[in-house]
Amino acid sequence: MSHRIVRSLFESRLKAWADARTTPLRIAYQNVSFTPATGETYLRAFTLPGTTA
């Protein structure tokens, strides 16, 4: 499975979870400009490519 597909699936699942919270959380996606408000709680989404053995 490609890194792009895994990242897309991971980010969509994370967004669904963050939006379902009582107080929705914003997500700082990888390679997307993001400036949090002072004292704001937010999530950072990034993936680390792994090597196969």
- 5-40 pLDDT, tens per residue? 888 899 999 999 999 999 999 999 988 899 999 999
pLDDT at 31: 86
Q: Using the CB atoms, write b or e for 30-42: b if 16+ within 10 Å.
A: eeeeeeeeeeeee
pLDDT at 46: 82
Whether 52 shows a pLDDT value over 90: the answer reads no
Q: Band of the pLDDT at 49, cuts 50, 70, 90?
A: confident
Alpha-carbon distance values, 36 to 6, 10, 30, 41, 43 (Å): 26, 21, 14, 8, 10
pLDDT at 1: 67
